[in-house]
Structure 1
Amino acid sequence: MSKSHYPIQSKISLSNIGYWSLVIGHFLILPLPLFAEDCTEKICDPIKAKSIVEIVGFFIKTIIPLSGAVALLMLIVGAIYWIISAGESEQVQKGKDTVVWALVGAVVILGSYVALSFIFKALTVGVPGYSPDG
């Protein structure tokens, strides 16, 4: 079999035509205005924050306990590795390393909480209604 005498014809296929039809169709059809109803109700604010300080505080109060839970989970996982190692030095070392790094993570999390509490108390002296402790 010989190649086609028209090189461009070999590059055009039904799948290419379909693909480009979809792409062009999306740009031509999708931007048409949709006739949606006007929103009459106020969207609820789950965070109930009035300033950026409160938003950052909310995320800090959420992330620090979650990361503490992860550190505790990793401490337990490392202890399990260590206990079920059955004397294999490789598994014992893996368990010890996991426990050590989980403890390092817990110390870092505790230190970040203390530092952030200090910083927020210093920065939010005049912010009414905000308490970094809860």
Structure 2
Amino acid sequence: MFEKLYKQLIIRALFFALFLYLVIPFNLQASPAGDIATQILEDTAVEAKLINSADNALNIFEISGFVINIVLGFVGIIFLVLIIAGGYMWMTAGGNDEKVTKGKSLLTQSIIALAVILSAFLLTNFVIIRLMTNLWG
């Protein structure tokens, strides 16, 4: 009895979702005034000296900052995996002192690595921002 009621509920929910999908309009087309708005925004950014008027291409500092941030992001993912592994090792030690010590050690080393990663991230962003503002105003 409940299975039949459950099936009917799922079918009605799917039909309702399909109905909403077909009824709600999607405005995904670009407006023709988009180029004008983009030009106005670029002119404003040039006047505010946020970008150079000569070209909007990426310079070496932006590219290096981008690459460093990607590398540090991957290192952060590795850190997360190590934290999870250390916590799992500690929680599943089952009273084994050797495993508890190894898990705590892994957690401690991972937290130290996190401090180093965050420091490197902050330092590189600071240096890159300072170089860009000093060289390009």
TM surpasses 0.5? yes
For structure 1, the 5+ residue unaligned runs are 1-48, 129-134
Q: Deviations over 1:5-34 (max 9, x none)?
A: xxxxxxxxxxxxxxxxxxxxxxxxxxxxxx
Shift of 1:54: 2.5
Aligned-pair identity in percent equals 29
Gap runs ≥5 in structure 2: 1-56
Do residues 75 (structure 1) and 83 (structure 2) align? yes
Taking structure 1 as the reference length, what is the TM-score of the superposition? 0.55
Shift in Å at residue 51 of structure 1?
3.0
Q: Is the 8 A contact 2:76 2:117 kept in 1?
A: yes
Q: How does 1:8-87 map to 2 (within 5 A)?
A: 50-87=58-95
Aligned to 1:36: none
1:67, distance to aligned residue in structure 2 (A): 0.9
If the length of structure 2 is used for normalisation, what is the TM-score?
0.54
Name whichever structure is richer in helix by fraction.
2
| Larger RCO, structures 1/2 (Cα 8 Å, 6+ apart) | 2
Once the 2 structures are TM-superposed, how far is the Cα of residue 73 of structure 1 from its aligned partner? 1.1
Alignment RMSD (CA, Å): 1.9
AA at the equivalent of 2:100: V
The structure with the larger Rg is: 1
What is residue 113 of structure 1 aligned with on the other side? 121
1: CA distance between counterparts of 2:63 and 2:101?
A: 42
1:96 aligns with 2:104: yes
Q: CA offsets, 1:90-130, max 9 Å, x none?
A: 100110010001100111111111111111111111448xx
**What is the rounded CA distance, in whole Å, between the counterparts of 2:123 and 2:89 in structure 1?**
33
Large movers: runs of 4+ above 6 Å: none
